[in-house]
Structure 1
Amino acid sequence: MAKKSKKREDRLSDLPDSILIRILSMLCEDTEDSKKVVRTSVLSNRWQFLWMSVPVSLEIEFPDHIFGPPGKWERDVLDYLISTHRELNYWRSCQKIKKFSVVYDTRDPERFVKDVDLWVYFASKLANVEHFKLRCEDGYVFPQFAYKNTSWRKLDIQLCTNLNPLANVDWSGVVSLSFRFIDWTDGVMEKVLSGCPNLECLELYQFLGVHCLEISNAKLRKLIIDNSEIDECDLSLEILAPYIQNLKFLGSCRRIYLRNVASLVNVVLDFDFCFGKEDPLQRKECTCLKELFHDVVHVEKLELGPRCIQVYSYSSLSKIKKKNQFGTSYLRLNFLG
């Protein structure tokens, strides 16, 4: 009678790498669980380097400045920085990082700028990051070295008020750009767009300094603009975008002009009007909305927010609908709830 082998069978380790990596990917779907993937390297020689092939998501969120015993916050920050820099040293070995988020919101923004620069350097030069999100306190200067990167596919920058590339921008891998609370200076938007030849989606939220948005990127099909929380009454925006197919407006409707948008197919107008008080600004917004209706009569699908419906009656929309060059059967009016 044959003796049973004393060696314990490890069926899990016998699986192909692709399946094991898939299992590890499910383990680290939560950002906080990413460290568990690295710990699997101690299981055996078979698992030692598998974690490097798992796309992970990482997040750095600066500790809040809360009240406590003297020196406690400084000690917590120091411990956090030491731990973060140590961890990033081995995360750079990953073949791909799906998302890397840096949230830097503190009452003493200038004190730790060098640390933020190191995190941006990690995202732009050391690691293969696919989606980089940076939210910084007002006044942070986006470093010049970060304007050269080909691995990013999605870039999200918030509250970084100083964007000023001194040379040409090279974000050739980026297909989606999102900017929030940015005060643009002359020529910067043009440099950014020219450095993103593969850009497909552009999102601008709460921005200032851009009065003419000329988009010549042939692959860019989707544009989202939200200028809510912007109080400048003289805010105006002219858009020239011959390749845009999907356009969405949110926020306030103030002197928005569409030029050369013949490729538009879907348009969403979801402006927020201040009803109940008759003032010149309100009348300007209503006039602007009516002009926008005429600029998009050629689209196939038009979606309206509840405030827009109040401004322009359905009967008036029906008149525009009849002017559509495709005929009434192609212009579909949807009302957003």
Structure 2
Amino acid sequence: MDRIGGLPDGILIAILSFLDTKTAVRTSVLSKRWKLVWTSLPVLDFENVPYSRWKSRIEFIFFVRHVLARRCNSQLVKLRLSVDDIVYSSFSEECMTYAADHRVKNLIISAFTTENPVFIPTCLLSSQFLEFLELNCAIRYTITLPKSWTFTNLKVLKLKNFVFSDDNFDDGKIFSGCPKLESVILCKCAIKGRGELKELEMKCLELKKLEILYWRSPLSCYDIHRINVIAPKLSSFVFKGHVAKVCFKEDLGCLDRVCIDLRYPKWNSAEDRKRWTGECFMTMFGQFCSARFLSLSIDTVEDNKLSTLGESSHSDGRKAKKDSNIIDVPIHLMSYLLEIAPRAESLTVEFAKESFECVEVRSDGEE
């Protein structure tokens, strides 16, 4: 007896929405009751990666088109297309067009093509329904960013593997065109090394969360390129990866949490690494005087304990064990950082994830 099949359509659809679309469609063979339930799915999740067991990309494309053709005309809450194999650019554009036509709220596209680039359909560029947008170039230049778009209700924007240049960036209109934007994540992005664009303008008056992860502009452009941020309501900032200049153009009175994990390419000279890391760190950190909770990776602390303050004659320092090694965490550096951020309630130094240890220095001197 099919007890689950006796539930109302709304509950069955909600259950299937937690499954990937391939599995959800397979339920149509269970019984006549299930045959058409999947056609009302508000969430479509298409994934073509090595472990997804598609025989070929042609089979995957055929399946996606079959689902889009048979699905009912109801609003689409979420569409996710993630491919780890080369597909035609027209196929990715076709999926985005379908999403726009069905008033999608959450759109995640990971494109993979080596021929013609993927252009975001015009019908999507002014969507009033889109609230979450994630675009990932599996290969650089796979997706062509427009110079501007207008998403009146977009709250979350995540861009991965994009290279900003004069061709796709016009005075920050991709950010200012989203007046309700609350969260921006830039992952493995860069400013083109040999182009006229030098500064990335990001004006987001409602922005509350900003993450810049593994920035990839050439180190030769460190003194030239910068990211200018105007976000008076920013409450959380995360920076991980290689050095980059991030300048906040307005007071950060709402800033609550800051997390910094600076890295640098090992092939550069120690002197250059020290200069780049120290300058980048202090340029950013000096702007966080209102932050309440500060978190620094142990690599950030070690790279800056000399370059930031110069060599100290004091031997006063706190030592923490990481496996069998002893790592010096100078207390004078911690005190100096807490002086820069007088509102800070805690300053946490985090080790690598595998160590599961941390040293925390509070503003009242407690550990």
TM-score using structure 2 length: 0.71
CA distance in 2, matches of 1:81, 1:323: 55
Aligned residue for 1:33? 23
The answer to whether residue 227 in structure 2 is matched with residue 238 in structure 1 is yes
Unaligned residue ranges in structure 2 (runs of 5+):
192-196, 306-329, 352-367
> Structure 1 residues 219, 279: closer, same or farther in 2, change over 3 A?
same
Amino acid corresponding to residue 131 of structure 1 in structure 2: L
Secondary structure of residue in 1 paired with 2:228: strand
- What is the identity, as a one-letter code, of the residue corresponding to 1:135? A
* Distance in structure 2 (CA, Å) of the matches to 1:19 and 1:114: 35
1:331 and 2:364 are equivalent in the alignment: no
SS in 1 for 2:270: coil
Paired position in structure 2 for 1:67: none
Letter in 2 for 1:141: V
Matched position secondary structure for 2:67? helix
Q: Distance in 2 between matches of 1:89 and 1:271?
A: 47
Question: Which deviates further from its counterpart, 127-136 or 12-21?
Answer: 12-21
SS state of the match for residue 296, structure 1? Answer: coil
Q: Would you say the 8 A contact 1:97–1:130 is kept in 2?
A: yes
Q: Which residue of 2 aligns with 1:264?
A: 255
Q: What displacement does 1:309 show? A: 1.3
- Matched with 2:163 is 183
Alpha carbons of structure 1 residues 23 and 273: separation in structure 2 relative to 1, 3 Å: closer
Instruction: Name the aligned partner's letter for residue 152 of structure 1.
Output: L
Determine if contact 1:240/1:261 at 8 Å carries over to the other structure: no
The percentage of counterpart residues that share the same residue type is 20
Matches within 5 A, 1:145-224: 145=122, 146-159=124-137, 161=141, 163-165=144-146, 168-186=148-166, 187-188=169-170, 190-209=172-191, 211-224=198-211
TM-score (norm: length of structure 1): 0.76
Distance in 2 separating the partners of 1:323 and 1:286: 15
1:89 aligns with 2:90: no
Deviation sequence 1:170-206 (CA, Å, 0-9, x none): 2223211111111112334622112212211101122
Count of matched residue positions in the alignment of Structure 1 and Structure 2? 307
| Secondary structure in structure 1 of the residue aligned to 2:101 | helix
Residue 124 of structure 2 is aligned to residue 132 of structure 1: no
Between Structure 1 and Structure 2, which shows a larger proportion of strand residues? 2
CA distance in 2: counterparts of 1:61 and 1:129, whole angstroms:
22
Is the Cα–Cα contact under 8 Å of residues 157 and 178 in structure 1 kept in the other structure?
Answer: yes
Partner of 1:68: none
- Is the contact between residue 155 and residue 176 of structure 1 (CA under 8 Å) also seen in structure 2? yes
d(CA) in 2 for partners of 1:80 and 1:273?
40
Residue in structure 2 matched with residue 141 of structure 1 by the alignment:
118
Aligned to 1:290: 282
Larger radius of gyration between Structure 1 and Structure 2: 1
Name whichever of 52-61 and 308-317 sits farther off.
52-61
2:365 maps to none
How far apart are the structure 2 equivalents of 1:123 and 1:197?
22
What is the distance in 2 between the residues matched to 1:203 and 1:100?
A: 18
Partner of 2:294: 302
RMSD in angstroms over aligned alpha carbons? Answer: 3.4
Equivalent-residue separation in structure 1 for 2:58 and 2:348 (angstroms): 53
- Residue deviations 1:137-190, cap 9 Å, x none? 366132341323233322111226253436x51222321111111111233462
1:268 Cα offset (Å)? 0.7
